[in-house]
Amino acid sequence: MKIFLDTANLQLIKEYNEMGLVDGITTNPTLLAKENNDPIEIMKEIVRLVKGPVSLEVVSQDYEGMIDEAHRLKKFGENVVVKIPMTSNGLKAIRRLKEDHIDTNCTLVFSSNQAILAAKSGARYVSPFIGRLDDAGHKGMNLIKEIVEIFKNYNFDTEVIVASVRHPLHVISAARIGADIVTLPPDVLAKMLKHPLTDKGLDTFNSDWEKVKKTYPNLIL
């Protein structure tokens, strides 16, 4: 399972990238709005920092606008994937961008029907938003199960990015289903790493080693 970070925060991207945990990045206008910097410069810097695919989203809703923005965003770097919303204009744009050899990530997907249409239009990735479905009283993870099954049935090469992830249990469920990618808010990745018994165990090892050092003061490990 590939792990993408769902953020536009350069400091956190650098931190996790140095740990080798970042297979790619997804951003959106909301995430960029949270950062206090020029969004264009932030996007360029993310593309420079990260080797894997970086999803950058168009803001136009008309077909021509999406195509123009996609071509401009693609100039930021080879690893740019253009995020296109799941609309009729979006599907048209996805088809055209495939012909232009620009990878796309179809975003704001909330049903298997939408995922099928995105895959058939040639999207490289689809992003079903599971947390927002959970918020609305639907089981978001059921959607992932369905999409993964459908894509397998037809050998679609579109990859499923589990998006709108809210907690580590979402990650485990997605991994058990066999989803290709999860895109994680940095705090979810931080929570995956932690366990209270790890901290407790480490404290015990440290204090026991201190005792050993008292007995053998010249000890060097």
Whether residue 83 lies in the annotated active site = yes
CB nearer ligand G3P, residue 74 or residue 170: 170
Q: CB of residue 186 vs ligand G3P: minimum separation in angstroms? A: 12
CB nearer ligand G3P, residue 13 or residue 163: 163
CB nearer ligand G3P, residue 104 or residue 164: 164
Q: Measured between alpha carbons, how far is residue 35 from residues 30, 40, 84 in Å?
A: 9, 11, 21
* Binding residue for ligand G3P, selected from 72, 96, 98, 132, defined by CB under 6 A: 132
d(CA 115, CA 148): 10
59, two tokens: 């803001």
Question: If binding is defined by CB under 6 A, does position 164 make contact with ligand G3P?
Answer: yes
Residues 20-79 that bind ligand G3P (CB under 6 A): 26, 28
Q: Is the dihedral of CA 152, 183, 30, 20 positive or negative?
A: negative
Nearest to 109 by CA among 99, 101, 121, 97: 121
Q: Check 83, 92, 211, 214 and give the catalytic one.
A: 83
Cβ(23)–Cβ(47) under 8 Å? no
3-state secondary structure of 176: helix
211, two tokens: 């005792």
Contact flags string 84-103 toward ligand G3P, x per CB under 6 A: --------------------
Q: CB of residue 45 vs ligand G3P: minimum separation in angstroms? A: 19
Residue ranges binding ligand G3P (CB under 6 A) = 6, 26, 28, 127, 129, 131-132, 163-164, 183
